[in-house]
Amino acid sequence: MTLALLFPGQGSQSVGMGAELADAYASARDVFAEVDEALGQKLSVLMREGPDDQLTLTENAQPALMAVSLAAMRVLKVEFGIDVTVAAFVAGHSLGEYSALAAADALTVPDTARLLKLRGQAMQRAVGVGQGAMASLIGPKTDLALAEAAAAVGSQAGVCVVANDNNRGNVVISGDKAAIEAAIAKAKELGARAIPLNVSAPFHCPLMQPAADEMDRALTSAVFMPPAVPVVVNVTARPETAPEAFRRLLVEQVTGRVRWRESMEWMATEGGVTRFVEVGSGKVLSGMAKRIAPEAESLSLNTPADLEAFAASLR
């Protein structure tokens, strides 16, 4: 059995996230305390109690999701003696790539928290409220070719690109509001359903260049170590191990496409992965894994019971 650990991205947050882990394990509480101290805010209280509109803010949701993922990883190590090297690869969806790097010991938890806080703030600053938009194109006819055709029509009215190639039947576009509206109309004409997303900014498109510039400056001083296992990165959909490459790839990721479908397909075929394990809040990535690689096992680790069952399965 070859295993990959997956780390969720924005949208998987919810009030109460991580509470069960914190209540059950001191090692989880330690991670939340590290993140709180690094950020100078009681993020753990916001995660547990809300309000939801504050947790959903990009600058809070991003470090919060990382904190839950890393708390689960810490519990696996401290309580069950399972570290990241049980996996052949790690990968994370958008901000989850930072979680993957921290899980693989390429970044420290405090540094990751600070970088994600800045990333969220920079993304919010990059585009004025109401100027950008994102939409999810879904349905059996939806694939990358359909999404790119719709985006090409939208780009006649402004910036419009494929932001997330999640899986066949789920592709996200991003750009100027008018351009996304034009692309939605074309996508419907081509047979897809199109759902405008309730997001604060148009992520993973050229409009995010100011945020990429901010992250470029911030990542210059970040200390990267060689990861304990290869990290399959969003912008290339291939594994990377060189610390000096991660800075460049994380900057490119801000404006670049999240090539999640390709990343998963590579792990399932070339990487030989037969078990995908989502670590942290929600079950979005394990659901995608079932659609992309149905022959592989897919599961999510959200609760103490999940962690205990997973540990037992490795004995």
Query: What CATH number should be reported for the domain holding residue 238?
Result: 3.40.366.10
What are 20's two structure tokens? Answer: 């069960």
**Residues of the chain falling short of pLDDT 70:** none
Is 211 found in the same domain as 115? yes
Catalytic residue (choose from 12, 44, 69, 94) = 94
Q: Is residue 141 part of a domain?
A: yes
Identify whether 94 is a catalytic site residue.
Answer: yes
Residue 61 inside a domain? The answer is yes
Residue 50's nearest CA partner among 81, 13, 104 is 13
User: Which residues constitute the domain of residue 160?
Assistant: 137-199
Tell me whether residue 79 is in a domain.
Answer: yes
Question: Angle at CA 270, nearest 5°, toward 275 and 144?
Answer: 90
Q: 34 with 178, same domain?
A: no
Which pLDDT value is given to residue 198?
A: 85
Which backbone phi and psi does 247 adopt, to 5 degrees?
-55, -50
- Tokens 């109309």 map to which residue? 185
Same-domain status, 192 and 239 = no
Pair 93, 220 in one domain: yes
Residue 201 CA neighbour count, 13 Å, CB half: 26
- Rounded to whole angstroms, the Cα distance separating 149 from 184 reads 11
Catalytic status, residue 174: no
Q: Would you say residue 185 lies in a domain? A: yes
Give the dihedral of Cα atoms 269, 105, 165, 239; nearest 10 deg.
-40
Predicted pLDDT at 130: 86
pTM of the model: 0.97
Residues 211 and 194 in one domain: no
Which residue is associated with the tokens 């330690």? 30
Number of domains making up the chain: 2
283 and 212: one domain?
yes
Q: Is residue 10 included in any domain, yes or no?
A: yes
249 part of a folded domain: yes
Catalytic residue, chosen from 12, 27, 204, 300, is 204
The one-letter amino acid code at 187 reads A
- Domain co-membership, 59 together with 108: yes
Residue 131 lies inside a defined structural domain of this protein: no
Both structure tokens of 28: 């989880």
Classify residue 20: in a domain, yes or no: yes
Residues 243, 194 share a domain: no
Whose structure tokens read 């351009």? 179
Same domain, 63 and 147: no
Among 23, 7, 27, 113, CA closest to 77: 27
Q: Sheet holding 160-167: strands in order across? A: 160-167, 170-176, 132-138, 193-196
38-60 burial, b at 16+ Cβ within 10 Å, e below that, comes to: bbeeebbebbbeeeeeebbbbbb
